[in-house]
Chains A and B, each alone.
Chain A
Amino acid sequence: MADLQSQNYIRRSATTMTPPTTRSNVEEVAKLIDVSRCIGCKACQSACMEWNDLRPEMEEFQGAYENPHDLNPGVWTLMRFAEYENDHGDLEWLIRKDGCMHCEDPGCLKACPAPGAIVQYANGIVDFISDACIGCGYCIKGCPFNIPRVSEKDHKSYKCTLCSDRVAVGLEPACVKTCPTGAIMFGTKADMKDWAEERIEELKERGFENAGLYDPAEVGGTHVMYVLHHRDKPSLYSGLPDKPHISAVIGLWKHVLKPVALAGIAFAALGAFVHGIVSGPMEVEEEDEAEARKEMERRAKS
């Protein structure tokens, strides 16, 4: 996405220096998706295509209302539909707008090896700066929510930008603007959490005892949050992770292997260098040549 907030970075992929952060008076934003108000109309999906000029391939019907059937480089948000029979035997049709969660601790950014290809703005939005993307797909491995998709055409990774271009100029994301039932809200994260509180209280009154806010602490919270009727079982909503976390493997890779490897390489190189300086090269001396000649002659005689 267009990089309209290059002085607002709080994180920048594959960068060890402090990124430009001078604009410090920026409030954290969040999108709140109230699943209990969502009617699955896909207006958000079409608004996303309209605003971002995306036209993914028209697929075949595959036995579900999910169309296209998965996120892809042209599908940054997707309504997912889960038919769930609850303990009373009543059907619930749990519809969830899937897309980037904009984690406070973004696994994609952590895993990304291309400097500046993934950034996080001070407002919390995690954005892919596509021009810097090298298409390695590490973001996919870093993401706890299985969101980024690498295009086979241009080998860049894509996902929801939270309409960073709109937000940068004071507009709400396109999906928020278009949502007919107000199921998608946008504002400061604090306000969204307050509003979610009210909604949760109301849901509890309606008998959803386990209603709650999905703002998983495991990834430091997210800038896209859900109000769920069943906060105790997020996975009911088409596999929303119960406890999303950046894979331990990625943590091991990033936090253990990288420093150990660098140290190892440095140590090896340094060790060799010191040894070379101290001991000097292993030369072949004239007497070695003489010994060798002697040996060859002796053999020749016998």
Chain B
Amino acid sequence: MSRPKDAITRYKTVSRLNHWLTGLCFVLLMLSGLAMFHPYFSWLSFLFGSGQWMRAIHPWIGCLMIASFLGLFIQFWHHNVWERRDTEWVKNIDKVLAKKEDEVPEVGRNNAGQKGVFWAMALLVPVLFLSGLVIWEYYFGHATSIEAQRVALLIHSAAAIGAILVWIVHVYAALWVKYSMRAMIRGWVTPGWAWKHHRAWFRELVDTGSRGPEPNPRNRAP
């Protein structure tokens, strides 16, 4: 389906590219990380050529990831400021999952779940990056004590598992909520989609005469 005339822009191109770069990094890091985490996944190492290649490339992808994620953070942080209605949303998560969105408070640009994913990643990614540096044998093997490295290894693994769980929620939500993927791939949503899932955001756009993703500041009500 090509973009309808009344479509609303949800993500700008640069945001989408940034998101998918981050996502790619995340997936690669997850695959290689899991391969180094548990024997069940060690076969994944062949996706990277060999175990050696995987070990060598993982930290560099991590560096790219932190840079990329920083871009996302700068673009998205203000969409993810916690509001009172978010707490209400969370309290009514059972209704959301049961597809009774009408019975929960109207949602702005991001719902509480999305905000949760954002802030979880905003916490976990830097933790992964810093703990990863400590256990990066080639460059930092002598920079810290072995005991510090052991702790870093534990933190890195635990944070990674946390991030993977968040990522599963994120991916499932994107798949479950139809056309979310299109929003992130193509950048636009139908007014009905916005009305249904992010009604407060929709109203704001409509009120200011904007077609997204941000309200038109000139027409904002005083």
The reply, when asked whether chain A contacts chain B directly with Cβ atoms under 8 A, is yes
Residues of A within 8 A of B (CB): 14-16, 113-115, 132-138, 140-141, 146, 150, 152, 155, 247, 249-250, 252-253, 257-258, 260-262, 264-265, 268-269, 272, 275-276, 279, 281-286, 288-293, 295-296, 299
16 contacts between A and B (CB under 8 A): A16-B40, A114-B42, A134-B50, A136-B36, A137-B135, A141-B135, A250-B154, A258-B38, A262-B40, A265-B161, A268-B168, A276-B172, A279-B98, A284-B190, A284-B192, A284-B193
Q: Which residues of B contact A288 (CB under 8 A)?
A: 192-193, 195-196
Known interface pairs A113-B42, A295-B195; A249-B150 also in contact (CB < 8 Å): yes
Cβ contact of A292, chosen from B36, B177, B192, cutoff 8 A: B192
Residue of B nearest to A136 (CB): B55
- Interchain CB contact under 8 A, B153 and A113: no
Known interface pairs A276-B176, A282-B99; A253-B153 also in contact (CB < 8 Å): yes
B203 CB within 8 Å of chain A: yes
Q: Which residues of B contact A269 (CB under 8 A)?
A: 168
User: What CA separation (Å) do A290 and B6 show in the bound complex?
Assistant: 12
Q: How many residues belonging to B are interface residues under a CB distance threshold of 8 Å?
A: 56
User: What CA separation (Å) do A252 and B54 show in the bound complex?
Assistant: 25
- Interchain CB contact under 8 A, B168 and A272: yes
User: What CA separation (Å) do A141 and B36 show in the bound complex?
Assistant: 14
Residue of A nearest to B206 (CB): A299
Cβ contact of A150, chosen from B101, B137, B171, B196, cutoff 8 A: B137
Q: Which residues of A contact B169 (CB under 8 A)?
A: 268, 272
B215 CB within 8 Å of chain A: no
Smallest distance from the beta carbon of A109 to chain B beta carbons, Å?
Answer: 12
Residue of A nearest to B53 (CB): A134
- Give how many A-B residue pairs fall within 8 Å (CB-CB): 160
B23 CB within 8 Å of chain A: no
- Interchain CB contact under 8 A, A275 and B97: yes
Smallest distance from the beta carbon of A157 to chain B beta carbons, Å?
Answer: 9
Residue of A nearest to B141 (CB): A137
Known interface pairs A146-B146, A292-B190, A295-B206; A264-B161 also in contact (CB < 8 Å): yes
Cβ contact of A281, chosen from B135, B176, B194, cutoff 8 A: B176
User: What CA separation (Å) do A291 and B203 show in the bound complex?
Assistant: 12
Give 12 new A-B contacts, CB below 8 A, not counting A137-B135, A249-B151: A136-B55, A141-B146, A252-B154, A257-B154, A257-B158, A262-B40, A272-B168, A272-B171, A275-B97, A283-B178, A285-B196, A288-B192
